[in-house]
Amino acid sequence: MNGPTHLKTLKLGKGVQLSLYCDDSQPEDSPLRWFSEAIADGDPSSEALYVPPHWHRNHTEHMSILEGRVEATIDGHKKILRAGDDFIVPRLALHSFKGFEGERLVMRESADPAGDYKVLFFNDAFSSDPFSFWRMMRASYDGDGYPSLGLYFRFLDVAFVTVFGGLAKLFLPDPPKLE
């Protein structure tokens, strides 16, 4: 039992990255065992963190703001969260996050139920540069992520991921390994 081990860092944009961790000092069934940290460096020439509207059918997200501020929108309710704030995004809640340009942000996320599926989702979705629609669809298909198409019918979001994610699984090479 060593504590958190840094597994990989993925580029999300200019000055924005996602670091993946496993804390083997936590029990297998703990949501604190597998987690990610989104980091925006706050440089004036860098992008701000942006996570578009999406939802999850099977898991809840535990979020912590470690540095900076973020605007969280959860089921239509906007709130500015600051360093020291912890919050939960319930399963099925439509949510998005937006950092502030020129401000450093560090936001930690873990999933409940516990497991490596969220870290594997991020590794698949963001291991290629530039961004790949097909990789995101495969990762969403495997990882319980549904982009909001804005059509107010969740079954259309599920159908979109099922069709395009299923096609991606057929034609893309296997997801990258988490090394």
Burial of residue 169, with CB atoms counted within 10 A of its CB: 0-12 exposed, 13-18 middle, 19 or more buried: middle
Q: CA 22, CA 84: separation in Å to the nearest integer?
A: 22
Contact at 8 Å (CB) between 100 and 140? no
Is the pTM of the predicted complex or chain greater than 0.85? yes
Q: Give the SS3 label for residue 123.
A: helix
Q: Would you write out the chain's pLDDT as a tens digit for each of its 179 residues?
A: 578 999 999 999 999 999 999 999 999 999 999 999 999 999 999 999 999 999 999 999 999 999 999 999 999 999 999 999 999 999 999 999 999 999 999 999 999 999 999 999 999 999 887 779 999 999 999 999 999 998 778 999 999 999 999 999 999 999 888 86
Rounded Cα distance between 65 and 44, Å, is 21
Cα(85)–Cα(157) distance, integer angstroms: 30
Identify the structural domains of the chain with CATH numbers, from first to last: 4-171 (2.60.120.10)
Residue 86 φ then ψ, to 5°: -120, 145
Collapse the DSSP code of 145 into the 3-class scheme (helix H, G, I; strand E, B; otherwise coil) and give the result: coil
